[in-house]
Amino acid sequence: MAATKLYKKEGDDKAKAIQENIEKQFGFLPEVFQAMGNNGDFLESMMKLSEAAGKNLDKKTKELICVAVSAVTGCGYCLEAHRAMALQAGITEEEITAAVEVAAMMSAFNNFNKALGMNHDIKA
């Protein structure tokens, strides 16, 4: 159960129009977009951000990044959503697992280095 009110095509006109497009795309209206449905400007900006982020990446790469980041940040909602989209994009379970492994490895190294105040001695 969401911890906020969900607006299923009952917010402002802009939000309703965007939600209708999202519903056509997914076949239903995911709760995340219902939670944003009270503010069409915010919903619009989040959709534009989603489209603009990784614009130069192919769909598979972008979805693998979404899965990996969702896994290490602990967002089960995003992880399940992007795992489904990754599979729909033709990504295999093995590739998804590999991406999560790399993200987990980087998260472990990041936390280790932050905790010990490691110096930035490797330059690009």
Whole-number percent of the chain with pLDDT over 70? 100
CATH number at 55-118: 1.20.1290.10
* Residue 9 CB neighbour total at 10 angstroms: 14
The pLDDT confidence band at residue 88, using thresholds 50, 70 and 90, is very high
Q: Which residues contact 77 (CB under 8 A, 6 or more apart)?
A: 31, 32
For residue 6, give the nearest of 28, 46, 38, 54 by alpha carbon.
38
The pLDDT confidence band at residue 97, using thresholds 50, 70 and 90, is very high
Q: Which residues are catalytic?
A: 75, 78
In degrees rounded to 5, what are phi and psi of residue 3?
A: -90, 15
* pLDDT at residue 78 in the model: 97
The pLDDT confidence band at residue 10, using thresholds 50, 70 and 90, is confident
Domain ranges of the chain: 1-52, 55-118
